[in-house]
């Protein structure tokens, strides 16, 4: 009987993903997965369209930083 050929899958993608997450942690960043409702998605799209940020990521980062600056710190 012939031996079965097994594939390990796409190990390159896995290695790249691990390296990306390691660099993110080293930079004190954090991966954030967010599910937006219809209102949140509409707001995000409007902000990108208006030039608030070039990408969804840029809009979210800029909005978070702006909101955090408005919070009174003790």
Surface-to-core class of residue 13, CB atoms within 10 Å of its CB (0-12 exposed, 13-18 middle, 19+ buried): exposed
Identify how many contiguous H helices and E strands the chain contains and give both numbers: 3, 0
**pLDDT given at position 73:** 72
Residue extents of the structural domains in the chain: 32-74
Could you tell me the pTM of the whole model? 0.71
**pLDDT given at position 68:** 94
**pLDDT given at position 72:** 75
Distance CA 61, CA 15 (A): 26
Mean pLDDT by 10 residues, the chain (74 residues): 66 87 93 96 98 97 95 76
40 and 56 in contact (C-beta within 8 Å)? Answer: no
**pLDDT given at position 39:** 98
């Amino acid at each position: 009987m012939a031996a079965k050929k097994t594939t390990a899958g796409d190990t390159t993608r896995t290695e790249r993903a691990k390296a990306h997450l390691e660099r993110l942690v080293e930079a004190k960043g954090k991966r954030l997965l967010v599910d937006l409702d219809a209102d949140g998605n509409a707001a995000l799209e409007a902000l990108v369209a208006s030039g608030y940020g070039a990408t969804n990521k840029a809009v979210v980062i800029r909005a978070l930083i702006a909101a955090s600056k408005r919070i009174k710190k003790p």
